[in-house]
Amino acid sequence: MKTYLLPLFMVALATPAMAQDCTQCRKDDGSTALTLSAEARRTVQQDRVMATLNVEGTGKTVQAAQAQVNEKMQQARALYTKVQGLKVTTAGYNTWKSYPPEPAPRPDGTPRWSPAEREAKAFWQANQQLNIDGSNRDDLLNLVGALQQAGFGVNGLNFYLSRDASDALRDDLTTEALKNIRTRASSMAKALGMNKVRFVRIDTNGFNPQPVAFNTMVRSMAMKAEDASMPTPVAQGGESDVQVNVTAEVRLSE
């Protein structure tokens, strides 16, 4: 884990003699007003992974196509309910009618198929999406491999920083930035012959977790006719670069 502390200081000084002209000084109390800003940043490991899969069905009737999807989803439920700590959701159940490519027209320009022939060749397709979220990478990847073997395709496999981890990190970084501001304010107070530092206002200007560039490798091998096993996907999580910006108005006095 890497930690960076990048102080950015914007200082406004107001001596007692000019306090009445300082918009940051609400009264002439002999104090000196400062506005200080600091940025605290840390790079942390992403702690959760989301797999997005889909399954498709094809049949001469809408019921046949949907039955294939329903059967595969029931197989999936039997697999993912055995794994602890997962968040599973479904989405995008779609059904539509399709037609095979029609041959080129006859030399006289008339269609090769009559409307009745074209309709007789029609078929139905259906699909549904399955989202699986977890913190245990190995368990989730093993499950994805089993689902691939059952006929599911992988649309995405992404790592991210969870809300709980983000919230805890935000508090740590805010404390870190405030300590830096206090250290700088105390140093300036000493230089001015003062010894008291009082925080008047604190603003946090954002908490921005950004993914750091990394390689996520997902490997899906086609099954050979003589080999019914599906290799487990391979994926490696990355890091998120998280920063908090804090601005504080402080008063220095003797």
Q: Where are the domains of the chain?
A: 2-45+163-211+243-253, 48-160
Collect all residues with Cβ–Cβ distance below 8 Å to 163 and sequence separation of at least 6. none
Contact 209, 131 (CB under 8 A): no
Contact 59, 123 (CB under 8 A): yes
Collect all residues with Cβ–Cβ distance below 8 Å to 208 and sequence separation of at least 6. 242, 243
Structure tokens at 247: 């601005």
Q: How far apart are CA 220 and CA 101, in angstroms?
A: 29
Q: What is the pTM of this model?
A: 0.68
Across 9-119, the runs of DSSP E, i.e. the strands, are 32-45, 48-59, 87-98
Structure tokens at 189: 């107070």
CATH of domain 48-160: 3.30.70.360
Q: What is the pLDDT of residue 167?
A: 86
Contact 165, 46 (CB under 8 A): no
Q: Residue 59: phi, psi to the nearest 5?
A: -165, 170
Surface-to-core class of residue 158, CB atoms within 10 Å of its CB (0-12 exposed, 13-18 middle, 19+ buried): middle
Spell out the per-residue pLDDT of the chain, length 254, in tens. 555 544 444 444 433 333 333 344 444 577 899 999 999 999 999 999 999 999 999 999 999 999 999 999 999 999 999 999 999 999 999 999 999 999 999 999 999 999 999 999 999 999 999 999 999 999 999 999 999 999 999 999 999 999 899 888 988 999 999 999 999 999 999 999 998 999 999 998 765 555 543 334 343 333 333 345 678 888 888 888 888 999 999 999 98
Number of residues that this document lists for the chain? 254
Contact 52, 233 (CB under 8 A): no
3-class SS at 245? strand
Q: How far apart are CA 31 and CA 175, in angstroms?
A: 25
Tell me which amino acid residue 237 is.
Answer: G
Surface-to-core class of residue 227, CB atoms within 10 Å of its CB (0-12 exposed, 13-18 middle, 19+ buried): exposed
3-class SS at 221? coil
